[in-house]
Structure 1
């Protein structure tokens, strides 16, 4: 048993998930903050739909840690959006994590790993930094939605994720509901969304989405890869 597991509160994850089935996203967030007081963070890519979850969290507690992974391959627009949105929402604890410099020098000194081995690139630039970022926490919020892809169609509101608990407050929200929420609250949009980018990750592995395509069709286009690994990494 790890130190994190020994210090974690006892929680029946399945029972909590069942209890929250009719809860609003704000109520799910409040339940997470209550169950893991001081030990829960939000992970955000500051992508096209990130403003919704961050706005909801800001309504409950603006000081909730927001963990952001700067892979070194992000669009400049994403970095600018992170800063602008955090200021707009009054978030007071946005933390940026970078890949380990020694690991980069050893495994990707020419910055071409994304092309040669995208799984290894994601492990180096996202999975390991996130594991490091989440080390102090027993639970985390993220913005996955069931509508986004077949691989996400059955995600729970609350789930066990290795030694941590993962909350998916927006799981049941559809695209129209998300857009309506952003419009109603006049939330700033990611600057690349108007150019056809529906799901935005690293620049080399992100392309525009065609009408009628899966919102994540522009991620790793032409490859069997559909996820970066942070949602099924061991121990994350």
Structure 2
């Protein structure tokens, strides 16, 4: 990771993504997208550089209807040719969340069932995956770098937009006339599952509406072995309860 980050340290986001897609060290790559509030930026970049790149979309079956409609719109508008919808296995849902109320008792268990486990299964065929995480999105993401090691080097996480701010994203969407997620105008700067996402007030952290009222700030996709990945794996990290 140190070698990769050093190689691209002085590159901008577009150059990092462009080079990463051609870098033999990274192997088989996919993009994981929530088709959320800011997802269109990375999806548009991919549509220009590599429209056939596999795009993994996690449908937790608890998403806002607006997100599902937005996903369909972007897939058609950007001509992304390999979008793969990832869902939890029916047998797992029947066993662990038969009535769809698990999130009321354990958001961690619900996220693991509907997001983390299905994504891990889907990612098993890839050597690296691209995320839309950015440093400005809160303290838990303040130190992320372009490249992170995952699970003792088994896979690489690529964060090309790590250093972008909200203004950069807004400018990019405006300049490229990209459609916005309809919930953004209603006060949702960060969008997850409908039961666990609420509007954000002016001045609040953009992710304040995710799991409001709890200490939870990540769904688990960006945790490894129960520990949050904030920077190079060699760095010391705090346990997250």
Inter-partner Cα distance in structure 2 for 1:24 and 1:92: 26
Matched-pair contact (CA < 8 Å) for 1:98–1:125 = yes
Q: State the TM-score, normalizing by the size of structure 1.
A: 0.92
Q: Deviations over 1:143-184 (max 9, x none)?
A: 000001110000011111111001000000000111011001
Q: State the TM-score, normalizing by the size of structure 2.
A: 0.90
Equivalent of 2:4 in 12, 16, 32: 16
| Structure 2 partner of 1:227 | 218
Detail structure 1 runs of 4+ shifted over 6 Å in the superposition: none
Matched-pair contact (CA < 8 Å) for 2:27–2:127 = no
TM superposition shift of 1:30: 2.1
Matches within 5 A, 1:162-201: 162=151, 163-201=154-192
| Structure 2 partner of 1:210 | 201
Inter-partner Cα distance in structure 2 for 1:84 and 1:145: 24
Q: Deviations over 1:27-64 (max 9, x none)?
A: 21122222257610000000010000111111211001
Structure 2 SS opposite 1:160: strand
Where does the alignment leave 5 or more consecutive residues of structure 2 unmatched? Answer: 230-241
Equivalent of 1:34 in 8, 11, 22: 22
Matched-pair contact (CA < 8 Å) for 1:25–1:169 = yes
Matched-pair contact (CA < 8 Å) for 1:147–1:174 = yes
| Structure 2 partner of 1:9 | none
Is 2:80 the partner of 1:83?
no
Q: Deviations over 1:202-234 (max 9, x none)?
A: 000000000000000000000010000001144
Q: Deviations over 1:42-90 (max 9, x none)?
A: 0000001000011111121100100000001000110110110111111
Inter-partner Cα distance in structure 2 for 1:87 and 1:125: 25
Matched-pair contact (CA < 8 Å) for 1:158–1:166 = yes
Matched-pair contact (CA < 8 Å) for 2:58–2:86 = yes
Inter-partner Cα distance in structure 2 for 1:130 and 1:57: 20
Matched-pair contact (CA < 8 Å) for 1:48–1:198 = yes
TM superposition shift of 1:114: 0.6
The aligned length equals 224
